[in-house]
């Protein structure tokens, strides 16, 4: 399960500086990824691309082998340039890409201009471990005053749904300089906050990815105040002027910690000039840990701090409270469900449509079911009256064959405007207007019954007159 969540240059570089685009972070790192993957993590693989330092204009990033049973879920390509106006366009595995600029920082001791950092989604390309080529990072040649590459890194996210651990990952991206000075300079710190460590982790790792890495003194690499390495960044493995290094930080993680501080210190005149592009913290917790006591272990529970949110599907609609079911007791309610006329928030957007709650004419039917909510006599329970030109019963038909003349039942009452029963039978006076039948029984009016009765009366009258004569 993957859940994604998604500042000013130094005066010395003003001569070469290019203004930051709107929304582009300057001289800092910001949180870009914050999520967990069951049994998974992130591979960080890099290559140096600095032509000015002897690198070829095309490089190869080797995505390492995945742990057994794992599968790649997403992949992102990062690259950094220095000098000129940057370069957002590269060629990756033969395909042209345009990256989003995610950070800028000042010149790192070359006096040629800003560092620019970019990101592009390469999930459709990086689908398995192996070699991936990248070119076009910078101008590909070096004349002393143009755009050159620093390096490139592929972040490959993977998971294993059958694994026993949940991988928590926080990734900061951008571009931040780590510059030496004539005296001790404030170290660069990245604070990973919002950590969830309710139980002892089983693995923890810290990663830095930096540009301009050279075999000079780098100061100290620290985590929670502990020194992890001294003079660590160089260009021996990834290639000229680009380095990605990882450290085991499990000994410095503890139950209940909510943040962790990672640092790179600088100081003195011989220190390396670094352009930091990525800072990554990942740690694993056991899947069977149930922090909120709701019966769902951490791998199945998207919020292990809330017992009302878990990975159980109580109503059998295929959704859980973790996957967008805001009422797991009703199968007609979940994110993506169409709204139906039932007075409920079926699609979990927090809104019950107004026409499901409004009954303007007070006939007991809301506007979504009532085809005319301003006339109480019109609703799905009404009789279809004949020859009034209205759809009285809201069935989308007007004056259909089973309409009624207005008699609402078969009882022996008077249904006209007069106060008496105006026929001789003492029953329902439908003699002249056709059958008073309920909708659905058919218009079964006996049109001849009135005529037959009148003829019999005339014969009786003639017999009386004959006797008198």
pLDDT of residue 19: 33
pLDDT of residue 180: 61
- CA–CA distance, 223 with 296 (Å, rounded to integer): 32
Neighbours of 23 (CB within 10 A): 8
More confident residue, 440 or 48: 48
**First-residue to last-residue Cα distance in the chain:** 108
What residues does 98 pair with on adjacent strands? Answer: 89
Cα–Cα–Cα angle for 463, 466, 467, rounded to 5 degrees: 90
- CA 166 to chain CA centroid, nearest Å: 20
More confident residue, 63 or 406: 63
- CA–CA distance, 366 with 370 (Å, rounded to integer): 6
pLDDT of residue 389: 87
pLDDT of residue 72: 94
- CA–CA distance, 181 with 301 (Å, rounded to integer): 49
pLDDT band at 284 (very low <50, low <70, confident <90, very high): very high
- Which of 247, 254, 157 shows the shortest CA–CA distance to 196? 254
Residue 297 has pLDDT above 80, yes or no: no
pLDDT band at 288 (very low <50, low <70, confident <90, very high): confident
Mean pLDDT over 317-323 rounds to 81
Cβ(370)–Cβ(361) under 8 Å? Answer: yes
Cross-sheet strand order for the sheet of 220-223: 185-193, 259-266, 220-223, 226-230
Mean pLDDT over 303-329 rounds to 80
Q: Are strands 165-178 and 220-223 parallel, antiparallel or unpaired?
A: unpaired
Residue 435 has pLDDT above 60, yes or no: no
Task: Return the percentage of the chain with pLDDT > 90, whole number.
Answer: 35
Of these ranges, 263-267, 447-451, 454-458, the one predicted with the greatest mean pLDDT is 263-267
Of these ranges, 250-259, 388-397, 449-458, the one predicted with the greatest mean pLDDT is 250-259
Least confidently predicted of 233-242, 367-376, 391-400: 233-242
Per the prediction, the chain carries an average pLDDT of 78
pLDDT in tens, 384-424: 888 888 888 898 888 777 677 655 554 544 444 444 444 44
pLDDT of residue 462: 42
Least confidently predicted of 102-106, 278-282, 306-310: 306-310
Of these ranges, 263-267, 303-307, 358-362, 434-438, the one predicted with the greatest mean pLDDT is 358-362
More confident residue, 347 or 418: 347
């Amino acid at each position: 399960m993957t859940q994604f969540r998604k500042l000013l240059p130094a005066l010395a570089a003003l001569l070469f500086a290019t203004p930051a685009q709107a929304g582009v972070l300057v001289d800092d790192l910001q949180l870009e990824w914050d999520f967990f993957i069951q049994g998974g993590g992130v591979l960080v693989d890099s290559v140096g691309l600095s032509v000015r330092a002897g690198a070829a204009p095309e490089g190869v990033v080797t995505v390492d082998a995945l742990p057994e049973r794992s599968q790649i879920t997403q992949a992102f390509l990062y690259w950094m340039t220095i000098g000129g106006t940057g370069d957002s366009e590269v060629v990756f595995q033969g395909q042209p890409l345009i990256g989003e600029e995610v950070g800028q920082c000042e010149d790192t001791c070359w006096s040629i201009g800003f560092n620019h950092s970019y990101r592009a989604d390469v999930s459709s390309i990086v689908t398995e471990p192996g070699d991936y080529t990248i070119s076009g990072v910078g101008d590909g040649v070096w004349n002393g005053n143009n755009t050159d590459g620093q390096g490139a890194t592929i972040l490959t996210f993977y998971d294993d749904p059958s694994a026993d651990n949940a991988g928590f990952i926080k990734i900061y991206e951008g571009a931040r300089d780590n510059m030496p000075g004539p005296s001790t300079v404030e170290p660069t710190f990245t604070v990973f906050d919002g950590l969830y460590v309710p139980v002892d982790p089983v693995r923890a790792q810290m990663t830095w990815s930096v540009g301009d890495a050279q075999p000079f003194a780098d100061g100290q690499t620290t985590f929670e105040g502990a020194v992890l390495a001294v003079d660590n960044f160089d260009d021996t493995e990834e290639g000229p002027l680009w380095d990605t290094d990882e450290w085991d930080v499990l000994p410095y993680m503890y139950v209940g910690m909510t943040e962790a501080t990672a640092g790179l210190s600088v100081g003195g005149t011989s220190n390396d000039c670094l352009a930091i592009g990525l800072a990554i913290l990942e740690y694993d917790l056991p899947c069977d840990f149930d922090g909120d006591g709701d019966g769902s272990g951490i791998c199945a529970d998207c919020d292990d701090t809330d017992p009302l949110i878990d990975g159980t599907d109580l109503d059998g609609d295929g959704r859980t409270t973790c996957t967008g079911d805001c009422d797991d007791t009703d199968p007609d309610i979940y994110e993506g469900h169409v709204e139906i006329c039932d007075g409920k928030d079926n699609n979990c957007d927090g809104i019950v449509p107004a026409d499901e709650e409004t009954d303007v004419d007070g006939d007991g039917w809301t506007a979504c079911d009532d085809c005319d909510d301003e006339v109480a006599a019109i609703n799905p329970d009404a009789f279809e009256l004949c020859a009034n030109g209205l759809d009285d019963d809201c069935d989308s038909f007007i004056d259909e064959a089973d309409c009624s003349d207005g008699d609402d039942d078969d009882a022996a009452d008077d249904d006209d405007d007069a106060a008496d029963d105006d026929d001789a039978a003492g029953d329902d006076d439908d003699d002249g207007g056709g059958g008073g039948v309920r909708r659905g029984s058919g218009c079964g009016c006996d049109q001849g019954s009135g005529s037959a009765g009148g003829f019999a009366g005339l014969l009786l009258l003639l017999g009386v007159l004959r006797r008198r004569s």
